[in-house]
Amino acid sequence: MRAKGSVINPLAFLLLSTMLFVIAAPALVDEASNRPSTLAAGILWTLVLLTQLLALDSMYRRDFDSGVLEQTLLNAQVPFVAVLIRILMQWLSTGFIIALCSPLLGIALGIAPKALLITLFSMLLGTPALSLLGSIGASVTVGFNRGGIILALLVLPLFLPTLIFGADMINAAELGGSIMPQVYALGLISLISLAIAPFATLAGLRISLEMQ
């Protein structure tokens, strides 16, 4: 609520970038209306990854610069819980909203109507992993003046499995195949991220505060 721009700006970027693809590549939509396209799902998930990357840079920076982050970690009885709540709020303000908007974005990109609910489901399964893994990179680079490039280099390789299985899940739904392998894979990625990311994020924040 204190930083509405950190929520609105990534969503505006996602909407505008989707419209750019629709305008620049109208054949993508026409082709998808006649037969399933393997491009639309990949484009949508790639734009979601870039949107999350844009939101991650400011995940801890505001509180780090004001000193609130240091006081939170010092005064919290269980710092792990404080970090986990911060990650949850980041997901609710970006990933969850993106998931709710994904069917509309899927329509714009030409995803088949029968796969729109699967698109929503894939986002709900995959975006938590993006917030969890992205928080690790955000914690390590929060002390850098220009950590955006370093953050991208750190987290984009971690995002690749989510991108692959998320896009493949939508493509499988469009082709009428089974989506359960992709569901299990995305769920497993999110669960592993939940088990590892909060502890790694807490360690990264403490390192960044010590280097301040």
Domain that holds residue 39: 5-210
Residues 6+ apart with CB under 8 A from 111: 32, 37, 40, 41, 44, 119, 170, 174
What is the average pLDDT score of the chain? 85
14-23, 74-83, 191-200: lowest mean pLDDT where? 74-83
The token duo for 88 is: 């949850």
Number of domains in the chain: 1
Contact 130, 191 (CB under 8 A): no
Q: Is the pLDDT of residue 33 over 90?
A: no
User: Which pLDDT does position 30 carry in this prediction?
Assistant: 47
Cα-based distances in Å from 39 to 16, 48, 50, 162, 167:
18, 14, 17, 16, 9
Q: What pLDDT, on the 0 to 100 scale, is given for residue 47?
A: 94
Condensed to tens digits (0 to 9), the pLDDT of residues 103-161 reads 999 998 888 888 999 999 999 999 999 999 999 988 888 877 665 678 888 889 999 99
Q: What is the mean pLDDT of residues 166-175?
A: 92
Q: What is the mean pLDDT of residues 177-189?
A: 94
Query: Do 143 and 212 contact (CB within 8 A), yes or no?
Result: yes
Residue 209 is predicted with a pLDDT of 78
- Asked if pLDDT for residue 3 goes beyond 90, the answer is no
**Amino acid identity for residue 167 in this structure:** A
pLDDT in tens, 67-100: 777 787 777 777 888 889 889 988 998 999 999 9
